[in-house]
Every structure is written in C-alpha cells, then in structure tokens.
Amino acid sequence: MTERPILLVEDNPDDALLTVRAFKKNRISNEMVVATDGEQALRTLLPPEGEGLRPALVLLDIKLPKIDGLEVLRTIREDERTENLPVVVLTTSNEERDIFTSYKLGANSFVRKPVVFEEFVSAVNALGIYWLIVNEPAPSGPVG
C-alpha cells in the first residue's frame, strides 16, 4: 500500500469531513490533503515553480468554485508532471454529460457519492482497496 497522500478536491466541508471519516473508518491511513476549490487544487499539484504534491490518488468533485472540476481534470491531463495521476471523479452529479466528459478528459473512474453514510463507507473501501493496494501506478518518468 502506498503511503503517498490522497488529494481530495471538495468545496463542501461536510462532504470533505465525511470522506475523511470514511477513509479512517476503513483504516486507510494515507494523509488526506483537502483543496476547497479548483484553483487551490491546481496550485497544490502544479505550482509555478518546482514540484507540487504527488498524491497516490486525486478524488475530484465536478462542481467547484473558481475553476470547475472538469477544467481541473483537463489541466491535470495536459501537464506532463501530472498526466498519469489517478483521478477519480467523486461527485453527486448523475448527469450523463458529466460522466461522458469526465471520461473524455481522462478520468480513471467516475463514482457518485452515495447519500447514506454506510454506503459511502463501502464505496470508499472499494476505492481505497483498488487505487491504493491493487492498482499498479504509472511510472513517474519515461520508461527506457
């Protein structure tokens, strides 16, 4: 299991708290870094100077202030520093257009946030097992 942090991009403080609680309840000990808007997420990942945060996983809401989640995803995929980061869109949206656009822009997965906390805990458990234990992440540089 990777010990790198998880970047949660979520503007709703209640949803952010629930996500952190769900990860703790599932004994996923990775540090959770929270960005509350799209601009903060991009500054965290892609600062103008030097290396930014290299999380094991980005959990990205779509409806965000300043820069929306789809534009954040597009920017992540266009920058060579972050183009291979696993990005899971984690949102309340159930609009087909959002699902289609998320995958078109390079999302690795699209997950609707369950309304019931216990269902959310189960969803987080599945996310954690797959993305932090089962999945083999892309190498960080070119492979010779």
pLDDT band at 101 (very low <50, low <70, confident <90, very high): very high
**53-92 pLDDT tens trace:** 899 999 999 999 999 999 999 999 999 999 999 999 998 8
pLDDT at site 118? 82
User: Distance (Å, rounded) from C-alpha 41 to C-alpha 13?
Assistant: 15
User: Distance (Å, rounded) from C-alpha 98 to C-alpha 112?
Assistant: 11
Show me where the domains of the chain are located: 6-134
Q: Considering only CA atoms, which of 74, 95, 86 is closest in space to residue 127?
A: 86
Overall pTM surpassing 0.85 (yes/no): yes
Say which CATH architecture domain 6-134 belongs to.
3-Layer(aba) Sandwich (3.40)
pLDDT band at 143 (very low <50, low <70, confident <90, very high): very low
